[in-house]
């Protein structure tokens, strides 16, 4: 892809992906952050020119985004649908359902290895914040929850997770970047909640598990406000 302008999606996360997937990741981030506004018509020809690629990977990217319901395919391109507050909350409803189910399975298993893995990831999250790296923090945050979900070895739960992960990952990335700029102190609360996750898994205490789940998913209101703030900042940037 062309490097004539700044890209929102971390290139190192998708270095081995196809061009279509890489373009989908970038366009998804631009739509979710508000850089590409709702109602915008995305032209295959214009996108191919901007990213200096053929129309084939553009079509692949647009099909991916259409499957996520954030664009609507038209004859020669697509119209941006975007995400509403209701959409965002529904995405986190799915996460809550998945992780509630996973926790019920976890209490029947040996969790010692899982606790060690999660503790290492939490350390990486702490290092990321120490060095002000919101992208790395976001990567480790998603990995933390994915590690929990993978631990029960349930193929269909993973299928649901993988289908919701791209949009969810972008929401987290937008949120964490905004927090680093505007609400840095809030990271201590986020880290503390992940400590509760680990404690709940270690001692297999359902009450603590419920506390960890609801503290994490009550955080959706912050993610919605972070998204709104990011969109406002980008809009001001365009005006300037």
Segment 114-120 long-range contacts (CB within 8 Å, at least 24 positions apart):
114/147, 114/148, 114/151, 114/201, 115/198, 115/201, 115/202, 117/147, 118/144, 118/147, 118/148, 118/194, 118/197, 118/198, 118/201, 119/198
pLDDT at 181: 83
- As a whole number, the mean pLDDT across the chain is 87
Which of these, 173, 186, 190, lies nearest to 230 by C-alpha position? 173
69: tokens are 């319901």
CB 36 within 8 A of CB 65: no
- What is the band of 122 on the pLDDT scale with cuts at 50, 70, 90? very high
pLDDT digits (tens, 9 = 90+) for 203-221: 988 888 877 777 776 655 4
What residue segments make up the domains of the chain, in order of their start? 11-80, 85-239
Q: Which of 128-137, 192-201, 221-230 has the lowest mean pLDDT?
A: 221-230
Residue 154 has pLDDT above 90, yes or no: yes
Domain with residues 85-239, CATH architecture: Up-down Bundle (1.20)
Q: d(Cα 130, Cα 113) in Å, to the nearest integer? A: 26
pTM of the model: 0.87
- DSSP labels, 165-219: HHHHHHHHHHHHHHHHHH-GGGHHHHHHHHHHHHHHHHHT-HHHHHHHHHHHHTT
CATH of domain 11-80: 1.10.10.10
Instruction: Give the whole-angstrom CA distance, residue 31 versus residue 12.
Output: 20
How does pLDDT run across 181-205, given as a tens digit for each residue? 888 888 888 899 999 999 999 998 8
Task: Name the more confident of 237 and 209.
Answer: 209
Q: What is the mean pLDDT of residues 130-147?
A: 96
Predicted local distance difference test score (pLDDT) of residue 57: 96
């Amino acid at each position: 892809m062309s490097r004539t302008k700044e890209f929102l999606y971390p290139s190192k996360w998708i270095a081995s992906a196809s061009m279509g997937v890489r373009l989908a990741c970038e366009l998804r981030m631009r739509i979710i952050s508000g850089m590409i506004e709702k109602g915008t018509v995305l032209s295959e020809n214009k996108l191919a020119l901007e990213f200096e690629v053929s129309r084939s990977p553009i079509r692949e990217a647009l099909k991916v985004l259409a499957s996520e319901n954030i664009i609507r395919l038209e004859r020669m391109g697509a119209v941006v649908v975007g995400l509403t507050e209701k959409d965002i909350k529904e995405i986190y409803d799915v996460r809550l359902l998945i992780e509630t189910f996973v926790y019920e399975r976890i209490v029947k298993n040996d969790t010692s290895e899982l606790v060690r893995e999660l503790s290492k990831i939490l350390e990486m999250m702490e290092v990321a914040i120490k060095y002000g790296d919101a992208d790395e923090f976001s990567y480790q945050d998603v990995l933390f929850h994915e590690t929990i979900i993978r631990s029960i070895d349930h193929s269909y739960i993973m299928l649901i997770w993988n289908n919701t992960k791209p949009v969810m990952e972008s929401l987290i990335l937008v949120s964490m970047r905004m927090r680093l700029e505007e609400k840095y102190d809030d990271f201590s609360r986020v880290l503390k909640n992940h400590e509760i996750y680990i404690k709940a898994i270690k001692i297999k205490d359902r009450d603590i598990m419920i506390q960890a789940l609801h503290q994490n998913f009550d955080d959706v209101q912050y993610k919605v406000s972070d998204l709104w703030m990011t969109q406002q900042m980008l809009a001001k940037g365009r005006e300037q």
